[in-house]
A and B are shown apart, each in its own frame.
Chain A
């Protein structure tokens, strides 16, 4: 069975601080996808990144960066120089790699990030 753990329930930072959201996962699959989604108060899940388990290279996109370490089953997300607009709930998710279905995502419980001025 697949499982995603986001141990941090809530994080509060002051604008311009860096913040790292932790994600640890469990799966018996040897190949899989990992995701991060952002959920603002409106409720819609916004896709941020997908990472294939084959690819352990870190990725940077603007102020966002992701650190994937297969050895520790972690896929952490860092926001550099946080902004008030980053305030949201962030979800880490996992899916098997399958050509016969769209991703059936297993989500963590989310981390609520509050960025204040």
Chain B
């Protein structure tokens, strides 16, 4: 399945953070979502074959990488208190919205 690390993370305002996601085997598309407490997940961006393939309403300090083994990173610079959330990644076997997305358990980020 999809795995994410770390499980929990505490940072202070202004710091930078890197979250990691390992896609399900054979999946070449990964999406990242931010879920604030009591809210539904919000789409951050999506990567396909190492290129960003769509972005939601998030500022440039949210950036990503996708590696040849289809694992992925989400980087957030200059952390703000509102960045505290559960960050979920989801992988799909290929492009096309008729392909199911498989979600990981998430990384809970707390910004103090």
Residues of A in contact with B (beta carbons under 8 Å apart): 4, 33, 37, 42-47, 50, 91, 93, 95-110
Q: Measured between alpha carbons, how far is A43 from B7 in the docked complex, in Å?
A: 10
Residues of B in contact with A (beta carbons under 8 Å apart): 29, 31, 33, 38-43, 46, 48, 53-54, 56, 86, 88, 90, 92, 94-106, 108
Q: How far is the CB of B26 from chain A (nearest CB, A)?
A: 14
B46, B86, B96: the one within 8 Å of A43 (CB):
B86
Residue with the highest number of chain B CB atoms closer than 10 Å, among A50, A91, A107 = A107
B39 in contact with A104 (CB, 8 Å): no
A96 in contact with B103 (CB, 8 Å): no
Q: Is the interface of A mostly helix, strand, loop or mixed?
A: loop
Q: Measured between alpha carbons, how far is A103 from B95 in the docked complex, in Å?
A: 8
A33, A37, A101: the one within 8 Å of B95 (CB):
A101
B38 in contact with A109 (CB, 8 Å): yes
B39, B97, B103: the one within 8 Å of A101 (CB):
B97
Chain A residues positioned under 8 Å from B103 (CB to CB): 37, 44-47
A109 in contact with B105 (CB, 8 Å): no
Q: Could you give 30 example pairs across A and B, Cβ below 8 Å?
A: A33-B98, A43-B88, A43-B105, A43-B108, A45-B41, A45-B103, A47-B101, A50-B100, A91-B41, A98-B96, A99-B95, A99-B96, A99-B97, A100-B95, A101-B46, A101-B48, A101-B95, A102-B29, A102-B94, A102-B95, A102-B96, A103-B92, A104-B54, A104-B56, A105-B41, A107-B41, A107-B42, A108-B40, A109-B39, A110-B39
